[in-house]
Amino acid sequence: MAKLEEAEDLNLTPIMNMVLVLIPLMLLNVVFMEITVIEVTMPQRSAGAAMNNGEPPKRLQLFISQQGFTIVEGVSSMPAKEGCPSGGPTICTIKETAEVETDRHNWLELYNTLLEIKQRPDWTDHDQIEIVADSSVNFGVLVKAMDIARYQLVPRAEQSTATKGKMMKSWPELNDALAPLVDATDADGNSAKMALGMFPVVVLGLPTVSN
């Protein structure tokens, strides 16, 4: 007589219990935002600017205050732009009461001014910008200033074809802009498409005390 056997089912209950506990635990801890980094340098306090064959060193400096931006080329400050009080910063704020400090500054004017400097023949090969801020300026403003200064930008549709940055005519155009991708060599010597820099090397200076 044939012996009738019944197959035993695998008992998955302990595994299911473990998985059901592990998944919520890990979902709570996992960060779905992509983290990147901005590289900066800060000189030693004792280090002064080196002289260039007796000439003052070629420096581009950006001073950030609660009143706006002052741009210094070499040793001379750029005059105040149209609409800003004379004797004040080069680019004044546009919305002093904005809740988020980053929204108070005129980033459009800053971008266009820096790009205009970059496109002059004597500044084309210059990669470094020194950023100095008032003690009270917050980190968000510093990050935005670095983003504006480090990359040349073009309208989104021209990202793959453009070879240099373009002046931005409006805020929506600036907000939607991307850095053009150009052929470059990465740190390992491989050729790759990289974002076109404006002043990609950022040096931070000691804070100023005016508020």
Partner 1 sequence: MAAPDNKKQEMQDALMKRLRAKRKAKRQQDEGKAALTLNSMMDMMTIILVFLLKSYGEETFVILPNTDVPISVAETIPDDMTVITVNKEGIFMIRERILDLEEGRVSGNFKKGGESGLIIEPLEAKLRQEVEKQKSIAMASGKTFEGDLTIIADQQTNYRLLVEVMQTAIGTEFKRFRFAVIKGGMQESGRYAAAPDYVIPN
Closest distance to partner 1 from the beta carbon of 77 (Å): 20
d(C-alpha 148, C-alpha 53), whole Å: 32
Which residues ranging from 106 to 125 are in contact with partner 1 (CB under 8 A)?
A: 106, 108
Kindly state whether residue 136 participates in binding partner 1, applying the rule CB under 8 A: yes
Hunting for tokens 């931070």 — which residue is that?
A: 204
Interacting residue with partner 1 among 17, 124, 138, 185 (CB under 8 A): 138
Question: How many C-beta neighbours within 10 Å does residue 66 have?
Answer: 17
Interacting residue with partner 1 among 72, 78, 80, 94 (CB under 8 A): 94
Q: Identity (one letter) of the amino acid at 33? A: M
CB-CB contact of 141 with 187 (8 Å)? no
Greatest Cα-to-Cα distance within the chain, rounded to the nearest angstrom: 110
Nearer to partner 1 by C-beta: 35 or 51?
35
d(C-alpha 33, C-alpha 27), whole Å: 13
Q: Which residues contact partner 1 (rule: CB under 8 A)?
A: 1, 12, 15-16, 19-20, 22-23, 26-27, 29-31, 33-42, 44-45, 64, 94-95, 98-100, 102-103, 106, 108, 133-148, 150-151, 153, 171-172, 174-179, 195, 204, 206-207
